[in-house]
Amino acid sequence: MSKSNQWPAEHGRLKKYLSTTDKVYFRKITENGIPESVGTGNAGKSCTLIIGMKEIESCQKVGKFRGREEFAGLSVEISDLDDVYSSKIDSRGYPASLGLPNVGKDVTIIVQK
């Protein structure tokens, strides 16, 4: 099982601008430390994972498939206190593990398309 790459703790405040093709998912981290699936259609894509539910500027629901709601927006504010990770989506549609200390937490997943 692969693990996500955590951003340095001193990343500071950032504003991440989203592409019109980026998709946002609000998911939970399962009992084995892996975020819930974002779908096999995203396999092989890169993603940014932010622990917690983040507010997405101009957030709009753009789709729903098998209970997974998909959103798009313009940007997201990342505070210096946020835990942020980078990962790839595996062939089953799951980002890499965020570790057992994050079990049960909400996660905002931004999939770069």
Please report how many Cα atoms fall inside a 13 Å half-sphere around the Cα of residue 38, on the Cβ side: 33
Number of domains in the chain: 1
Q: Can you give the residue range of the structural domain that contains 23? A: 5-111
Residue-wise pLDDT tens digits, 49-87: 999 999 999 999 999 988 889 999 999 999 999 999 999
Distance CA(88)–CA(49), nearest Å, equals: 10
Q: Are 61 and 70 in contact (CB under 8 A)?
A: yes
Q: Cα separation of 43 and 79, whole Å?
A: 28
Give tens-digit pLDDT for 18-36: 999 999 999 999 999 999 9
